[in-house]
Structure 1
Amino acid sequence: MTTITFVRGDITRQSADAIVNAANSSLLGGGGVDGAIHRRGGPEILADCRRLRASHYGKGLATGRAVATTAGELDARWVIHTVGPVYSATEDRSELLASCYRESLRAADELGARTVAFPAVSAGIYGWPMEDAARIAVETVRATQTAVEKITFVLFDERAYDAFAAQPH
């Protein structure tokens, strides 16, 4: 049975087997959660990402997919990078957002991770409305078969925390 918890805080300060990064498709760092993970995790994460780009992901990681690297200096064994969709008011991209969570849990299972920390994927610069992002995230992890024992959603601010904590879990 997987337990789901919510905390307000900085995902780069979490202790987990795997920390999920809301990455961009380049895998080479960026703003928001992605930049924070790369800064705090150190150069080992970027080096791993560069190796992935040089081998399997020459054109980058597709939206909705996930891939793991070392966690560098973070208090984790792995970082699972997933590329969330940019929100669109005219096109339903919710399945791509749900896929980020499913694919991250698949990667966690392949690694043997038992504890995973997630950010609110796509709810920052990608513009996904927070309440809808929370609903999709929590519903998806609840419905996904996984060996992960504890999923923690790490929310950066009170608004995000409130939106996630309001979800049935």
Structure 2
Amino acid sequence: MNRMIIMIAAVAENNALGKNNELVWHLPNDFKRFKSLTTGHHIIMGRKTFESFPKPLPNRTHVVITRQENYRPEGCIVVNSIEKAVAICPKNETSFIIGGGEIYNLGLPYTDKLEITRVHHSFEADAFFPEINPDNWQEIHTEFNPIDDKHLYEQCYLKFFESTTQKSL
């Protein structure tokens, strides 16, 4: 297996990700899905995303991208570019890009697969996911999740493969 880079995000209909370094929704099933997919893997994120966590996420290797030269959070790998973040991930494993908005934009050219939770609502936000170009990405799976007592918004789990990857399979 070659290195697989998966971008994972919960994204509103208007591509909103969050506001003031916080999510603007609470979706417990999406948190569970995120945990099950990313546990045991390298996760690539920007400094602000890392700092939005109460503590490092268990059982994952954190790769933090920042321009701050003396930034050294305990137990993290710190790099200053998306290229270095991708290069530091194990060659024969899956790694995840987990945000935020700027890192998603920088990471898209390195990404083989998208794992998106599409939140069926629009939100006021200051961080946004890049537009998914249907010429570059092929949707391969959709799973609908209705509103319930723990989820205020309908959402779909969507999987996309890069179209060029799809052609070579």
Which of the five TM-score ranges fits, normalised by the shorter chain? 0.3 to 0.5
Q: Which has the larger radius of gyration?
A: 2
Structure with the higher strand share, 1 or 2 = 2
Q: State the TM-score, normalized to the length of structure 2.
A: 0.36
Q: State the TM-score, normalized to the length of structure 1.
A: 0.36
Structure with the higher helix share, 1 or 2 = 1
